[in-house]
Amino acid sequence: MAEAIRRFDFGVLDFIQQKMRTPFLDRIIPKITVLGDNGIFWIIAAGILIIFKSYRECGISALAGMMSGVILGNFIVKNIVRRDRPCWINQAVDMLIEIPRDYSFPSGHTMSSFITATIFFYYDKRIGIPAFVVAFAIAFSRMYLYVHFPTDVIAGALIGISIGCGTIYFLNRYLFN
């Protein structure tokens, strides 16, 4: 099973590197991935929402969800799984960004993006749909840049959606009502 996952992961990454890399995307994708760096884009977006009374619960929920994601995904799961990044294993790929030093599984950029997009979508589809578009772009960027395996990204998205839903449930049940 582990070998099948490895073949799938490297098959997708090799396809992206061989069939999708272009000079244009090489310039754009690093800018997209920066949106997920340390969750800053999402933190700013949530902070802006907190300013407006009608969106305050949404902003608070997004910040709480991201804090949960950092604890669960980045501090706990990454350090239990301890998965090497693809760029650590195959150093022949031309890197467009600095090589991350932390472990690969799950993708923190993807997780924080999907936590926030899920929460934004719950509160207002008009901001949730564009947030999901950005989340998918960030998730793809992590594979394009060869810093995450597809299964890291898939896990990041699923964990992010789960944390987003759990945050909404918990805060609506115990804080907002």
Instruction: State mean pLDDT over 116-140.
Output: 98
Residue 30: pLDDT band (50, 70, 90) is very high
What is residue 137's predicted lDDT score, i.e. its pLDDT?
98
What is residue 75's predicted lDDT score, i.e. its pLDDT?
93
Instruction: State mean pLDDT over 149-171.
Output: 98
Residue 177: pLDDT band (50, 70, 90) is confident
Tell me the domain boundaries of the chain.
Answer: 53-177
Q: Choose which CATH entry (3.40.50.20, 3.40.50.300, 1.10.150.120, 1.20.144.10) describes domain 53-177.
A: 1.20.144.10
Residues near 101 by beta carbon (within 8 Å), at least 6 away in sequence: none
The whole-angstrom separation of Cα 66 and Cα 50 is 15
Q: Buried (b) or exposed (e) across 4-20, using 16+ Cβ within 10 A?
A: eeeeebbeebeebbeee
pLDDT at 1 over 80: no
Token pair 């000079």 is found at 23
The type of residue at 46 is: A
What is residue 8's predicted lDDT score, i.e. its pLDDT?
95
What is residue 54's predicted lDDT score, i.e. its pLDDT?
95
What is residue 80's predicted lDDT score, i.e. its pLDDT?
96
